[in-house]
Structure 1
Amino acid sequence: MIFLNIRKIGLYLLTCLVIFSFVSCKKKSNKVIIKGEISNLETPYIIATHFSADSIVIDTIKTNPKGSFRYETKIDTLSTFALYFNDYQSSTVVFADKNDKISLNGDANLSDLIVVKGNEINEDLSTFKKENEALIKQRFEIINNYQSENNRKNGVLSANEKVAKINSLNHELMQRAETFIQANPEKIASAILINEFFRDTENPQSLERVLGYLKGKALEWPPVSDLKIYTQELKESAEGAYMPYFQLTDINDKTIRSTDFASKYLVMSFLSATGSESRETVQVLKKEFEKVNKDSVQFLSIYIDSDIYPITTIGNDSLPWIAVAEKRSWASDIVRSYHIPFVPYNILISPGGKIQIRNIAASQISSTIAKKGKSGS
């Protein structure tokens, strides 16, 4: 699947628990065959995962020196298989129903462009990838060939240029995905492209718009119901919406509620206790904190590390404001209700309790509050 990362693969696999078969089969066998040839394999095996009933199945598929493989298993319904190459360094997704014979061909180092054939869903997605191969390859090269030095002596893009170029390519691919969806509203591939390109948008209107194109079996595909629920959650945490209620326990075991910050600006920062970007953000936040009026502005930092608990390094940050260590990390209610896609991530709440700016740069907090204070917004 295009631009698939591990987190999205997990999402695809979880949705398969409720996927029903959309293709009638004349044969009684539930066997599915997945075979192909993948170049640039550094390991003599591929890891395959899929859901069966309420369990995840993990298989190791042996490959020959040419990267050829053959995998057989039994399934009861349309299922999503995630194939991992080179010890999880890259991956692709295959959709298979019982009795399907699926074939793959491509490069493990360019897994976004692996061609999958064998049923309508895979072939529709492969067609989309083929039609947009140049854009996909260009995006891949920028991400993977970028050097950390911010210079252009050897044609290397700076960090800002890299981000701008990737955003531009992503925007163009989103437009092309929307064109495909409009032209193919009944295809399940359209629903998959919506999940891939529009799910992580900050704009719920975009996601709602493309979901409105779907018809027939695409609209009935179970993950689409999840996307509709997700759209509503996005609306509830979008700019202009009232801040969702929360109740937390800070590092001093004091209960913190969203209502405690009424009539004041609130800067919510979601951080990692170990990430270097979060460390840098904390230092910038401290400088911004010194510039604001403490009577009208409050800060709240929420640490959501997934690998470490209890988080013992918060004290090293010496925050002069309220800090919370979320035990449930990315599974916590506040992460879901505020739609936090990554860390560090800052949100500015108005004195009236509305979300004013999502993903505001830490360095712009004091100046933004000063401007809004003058304008009365």
Structure 2
Amino acid sequence: MVRFCKIVVCLILLCSVISCKDKEGVIIRGEISNLKNPSILVTWISADTLAIDTVDVDIKGKFNYRNRIDTLTTFTLYLNNYESAAVVFADKGQILKVKGDALLPDLIEVHGNEINNDLTLFKQENRELLTQRGQLLFNLSMESQSDTANNKSMTRHDEIAKLQLLDHELILQAEEFIKKNPGQFSSLVMINNFFMNSDNPQALERVLDYMDEDVTNTRFASRLKSYSEKIKRSAEGEQIPYFMLKDKDEKDIYSHNFNGKYLVLSFVSTAGIESRETIDLLKEAYQKVDKDSVEFLTVYIDSDIYPVEYMENDSIPWKVVPEKRGWGSDIVDSYNVQYVPFNILIDPAGHIKVRNIPAQGVVKAIGNSTED
């Protein structure tokens, strides 16, 4: 019996040694506070396929996740039913540690290799900005969910304006980081995080030029360069990309139908206060412009999930498109629409005059209003 116990102990120790020498194993250990669910959803790309795992979390928010990979892999940890997420960069043979608050995902720290350590250092150096941003995003999310008349529009608009200022400051800090670290893969991640969704293709091109040749030869960098070329095609001053849509009556709408006129192209959602406010403001603008020289066109992005049924739609006096492919539609991709509401002003020659123009600024930008 004693000999048997010794054999069992030896086997356990041997398995532990083999496990430690598993060069393709990765371990992600973490502790996340403010988790509403007893599990985390983990996704990553494996052989060009999205793979998914569910990881159990204890009452203190602690978890331990193991996987086998053969190259640098990006794991996304989705928290609280996709309300927030944390990204972990892992390579074979590494042990990584994650710690943070599910309510402030931008501040979740990851340690264990150079990429994660660099990104965590940036978060630590900009903790105050990221905390303010996280709180504003949380406030706006709560207001959108309540979706009641009691919400104060001015307060929400002030919060959005403050959020834009914080985003601008973080972009400046990110660019300084990239300039100081042109040979780091973490700088490519920073470009992806802060410049990929930008409406400024010049900024993306500029930061890519900072990078050392060794880094720009990676597949990740090639993807960023391809994206840079794509958004140039829908930048201000460029000829509009071709589109063909179907309105709510299934009639075809082509981009060339608007030649010789200003076009206010708006992308909105059927859900959310901001989109409904935008439609109301666009209605006001529509009443002030010359209908012979200005047309409006509204695309509902999420009509595949939320049918375009609410009463405001019935009173829209211009063409409306329920885009059945949603965020996967060609027009969303070719016009680089990253969020809604989003308005684009196109001039009579078919050039993009202003991207992300506020609805209340349309009349002034056209300079072609009629007398009330």
Normalised to the residue count of structure 1, the TM-score between the two structures is 0.82
Equivalent position of 1:38 in the other structure: 32
Equivalent position of 1:73 in the other structure: 67
From 56, 71, 81, give the equivalent of 1:62: 56
Instruction: Among all aligned residue pairs of Structure 1 and Structure 2, give the percentage whose two residues are the same amino acid.
Output: 49
1:208 maps to 2:205: yes
| Structure exhibiting the larger radius of gyration computed from Cα positions | 2
From 351, 361, 365, give the equivalent of 1:364: 361
Q: CA 1:143/1:248 → structure 2, altered by over 3 Å: closer, same or farther?
A: closer
Q: CA 1:192/1:334 → structure 2, altered by over 3 Å: closer, same or farther?
A: same
1:82 maps to 2:79: no
2: distance between equivalents of 1:116 and 1:342?
Answer: 28
> In the alignment, is the contact (CA less than 8 A) between 1:282 and 1:317 conserved in 2?
no
Equivalent position of 1:342 in the other structure: 339
Unaligned runs of 5+ in 2: 1-20, 144-149
Equivalent position of 2:146 in the other structure: none
Equivalent position of 2:147 in the other structure: none
> In the alignment, is the contact (CA less than 8 A) between 2:344 and 2:356 conserved in 1?
yes
Equivalent position of 1:15 in the other structure: none
Equivalent position of 2:9 in the other structure: none
> In the alignment, is the contact (CA less than 8 A) between 2:289 and 2:368 conserved in 1?
no
From 271, 275, 280, give the equivalent of 1:283: 280
Alpha-carbon shift at residue 181 of structure 1 (Å): 0.7
2: distance between equivalents of 1:54 and 1:96?
Answer: 17
From 256, 266, 271, give the equivalent of 1:269: 266
Correspondence list, 1:21-32, <5 A: 29-32=23-26
> In the alignment, is the contact (CA less than 8 A) between 1:273 and 1:303 conserved in 2?
yes
From 121, 129, 133, give the equivalent of 1:139: 133
Alpha-carbon shift at residue 254 of structure 1 (Å): 2.5
3-state SS of 1:279 partner: helix
Alpha-carbon shift at residue 312 of structure 1 (Å): 5.2
1: distance between equivalents of 2:346 and 2:110?
Answer: 46
3-state SS of 2:367 partner: helix
3-state SS of 1:109 partner: coil
Correspondence list, 1:1-377, <5 A: 29-144=23-138, 158-305=155-302, 307-308=304-305, 311=308, 316-370=313-367
1: distance between equivalents of 2:248 and 2:312?
Answer: 9
Normalised to the residue count of structure 2, the TM-score between the two structures is 0.83
CA RMSD of aligned residues (A): 2.6
Alpha-carbon shift at residue 318 of structure 1 (Å): 3.5
> In the alignment, is the contact (CA less than 8 A) between 1:184 and 1:190 conserved in 2?
yes
Q: CA 1:63/1:309 → structure 2, altered by over 3 Å: closer, same or farther?
A: closer
Amino acid at match of 2:261: K
Amino acid at match of 1:240: G
2: distance between equivalents of 1:185 and 1:131?
Answer: 19
- The C-alpha deviation readout for 1:1-49, integer Å capped at 9, x for no partner, is xxxxxxxxxxxxxxxxxxxxxxxxxx66311111132333333332222
Amino acid at match of 1:39: S
Amino acid at match of 1:266: L
- The C-alpha deviation readout for 1:244-267, integer Å capped at 9, x for no partner, is 121222233332221121111111
1: distance between equivalents of 2:262 and 2:338?
Answer: 22
Amino acid at match of 2:61: G
Amino acid at match of 1:325: P
2: distance between equivalents of 1:109 and 1:237?
Answer: 34
Alpha-carbon shift at residue 314 of structure 1 (Å): 8.4
- The C-alpha deviation readout for 1:98-156, integer Å capped at 9, x for no partner, is 111111222333332222111111111111111111221222233335786788xxxxx
Unaligned runs of 5+ in 1: 1-26, 152-156
* Mean CA deviation greater in 42-51 or 235-244: 42-51
